[in-house]
A and B are shown apart, each in its own frame.
Chain A
Amino acid sequence: MTVLFSIFSFLYQTGDAFAFLVLSACGLAIIFGMMGVINLAHGEFIMCGAYVCAAAARAGLPLPIAILAGALAAGFAGMVIERIIIRPLYDRPLDTIVATWGVSMVVTQGTLILLGSTMPGTGTPFGSFTVGPYSYSVYRVVLMVAALGTLGLLWVGFTKTRFGVLARATIQVPHIAQALGVNTGLVYSLTFGLGAALAGLAGGLYAPTMTLVPTMGSAFVVEAFVTVVVGGADIFLGTAPAALVLGAVKASLTSWQGQLAGQIGLLVAVIIVIRILPRGISGWILRERT
């Protein structure tokens, strides 16, 4: 029996790490994969989602609505920032790194000044359940389901809807999409907004589990970047499998030697993968296919 308990524990921890990596990374992956913009303000969109979610929940809204409010707020902020700051820089991808880094600092410091060094959160809902000697959080299982649901919805959105087809066309040959009547500016704006909204969703979903501080985004950003770098530009062929592999590595090292070993293992895994597959997992799959 104890073996089964251990297996369950490992699966739970892998699932937990997978959910965290997928939810942190998918907004970043969409903005990078679809638009080639490396968004260093990703963590601040996550923070925005978390803050709005916590504020809405404390104002009495049910948690799922509060989480969606966080996602929408971050998405709206993303569209505004795309219009004002990113759009003039589409021909200069390296400059978007500096610009979004600037946004990140302004937002972090601005939040610190306006809202103080911490924000009251909401408790983690649903309590816990036990399997064998260990106790597990129900809400973490909800997060795993949310991660899978997000991937599923994104897949449907990008492959089955008109917007998805136009967005992929715009990313592949932008000038021809434009010559065929696609308002590519609007597509970019919506895509950036979607990426920001997904970051906000991650923030909202994790808001009940964390301390809310202006720099909380950085807890997500490193792992989000690691996942996108390992995965490559494609969210389904890259981000999801990368999150699974890295999640398993992290979970096994964490349960064997603790949190620090998990983090170190994650970074070592990235170095190894990038040495073997410089274009990430999706780059490798796409090359194998052709």
Chain B
Amino acid sequence: MRSEILLNTVGLWSGYGGKPVLQGIDIDVREGEIVAVIGRNGVGKSTLMKSLIGLLPRDKGSIVFRGTAVDNVPAYKRARLGIGYVPQGRDVFPRLSVIENLMVGESISSKRATAEEIEKVFSYFPILKERRNQPAGTMSGGQQQQLAIGRVLMGKPSLILLDEPSEGIQPNIVQDIARIMVELNRTTGVTIVFVEQNIDMIRAMAQRCYVIDKGRITDKIMPETLEDRDAVRRYLAV
């Protein structure tokens, strides 16, 4: 039995100040999937993520979440519908402590997170518990990435958008993060869409991949394809 489509885009155009970056993107993501969007630098991967969460207005086309078009829904309401966004470069709140950063992620739900739920996030990312009172801006890139993911988990999203989670992070932490995301997907059923160029991370997490180039989806491949060097060069090399 195939599960329901959670998110799809229909001919999505979007960009900055009238300059189109995305030029008709069609993707669909089923509930419980882990889907990677791969491609070279500057082809529109982050633009796609920002458009999905609503930080960039779309120019044409449509974004459908759980069967409803969310094109005119502002970002904060999309978050409340269950879309969690982990931005490129983490963007933690630098002068808030770890625990305060988590509180912001929790603000979506009408009732306060229980100590149990916070402990659950700490169990995935023990370093956050250790540094709970430290200002987030003073932590390393890998720790900030874990905080950015933990922050989104506090809102109990049904879909997590990860924008280049491996960027600027030590390889062993990249593997940890990939393992935890797969485990989260398996235990909670959360759907994950991520943008990535790191082959190890793509192969560790993705169930299937969209290849994006010059603002369009040019290919759909399985992560195993990337074992072939020519394929890597074709899809990812600059």
What's the Cα separation between A183 and B103 when bound, in Å? 14
Q: In which size bucket is the chain A interface?
A: 10 to 19
B105 is an interface residue with CB less than 8 A from chain A: yes
What distance in Å separates the Cβ of A21 from its nearest Cβ neighbour in chain B?
25
Q: Given the interface contacts A165-B96, A165-B100, A168-B96, does A181 sit within 8 Å of B55 by beta carbon?
A: no
What's the Cα separation between A183 and B95 when bound, in Å? 20
Q: Given the interface contacts A178-B74, A179-B53, does A162 sit within 8 Å of B91 by beta carbon?
A: no
Among B54-68, those with CB < 8 Å from A are 54-55
What's the Cα separation between A179 and B104 when bound, in Å? 11
Candidates B80, B91, B95; contact of A168 at CB < 8 Å = B95
CB-nearest residue of chain A to B105: A180
How many residues in B have their beta carbons less than 8 Å from beta carbons of A?
Answer: 27
| Contact pattern, B 65-77, Cβ under 8 Å of A = 1, otherwise 0 | 0000000001110
A176 is an interface residue with CB less than 8 A from chain B: yes
B108 is an interface residue with CB less than 8 A from chain A: yes
Which residues of the other chain, B, contact A175 by a CB distance below 8 angstroms? Answer: 55, 75
A253 is an interface residue with CB less than 8 A from chain B: no
What distance in Å separates the Cβ of A5 from its nearest Cβ neighbour in chain B?
45
What distance in Å separates the Cβ of B33 from its nearest Cβ neighbour in chain A?
22
A166 is an interface residue with CB less than 8 A from chain B: yes
B151 is an interface residue with CB less than 8 A from chain A: yes
Which residues of the other chain, A, contact B155 by a CB distance below 8 angstroms? Answer: 180-181
Q: Which 7 A-B pairs have the closest CB atoms?
A: A181-B79, A181-B108, A179-B85, A169-B104, A172-B93, A176-B91, A178-B75
Q: A residues engaging B (CB < 8 A)?
A: 162, 165-166, 168-169, 172-173, 175-184, 290
Q: In the complex, given contacts A169-B93, A181-B105, what are 13 additional A-B residue pairs having Cβ atoms less than 8 angstroms apart? A: A165-B100, A168-B96, A172-B96, A175-B55, A176-B87, A176-B93, A178-B75, A179-B54, A179-B85, A179-B87, A180-B107, A181-B80, A181-B155
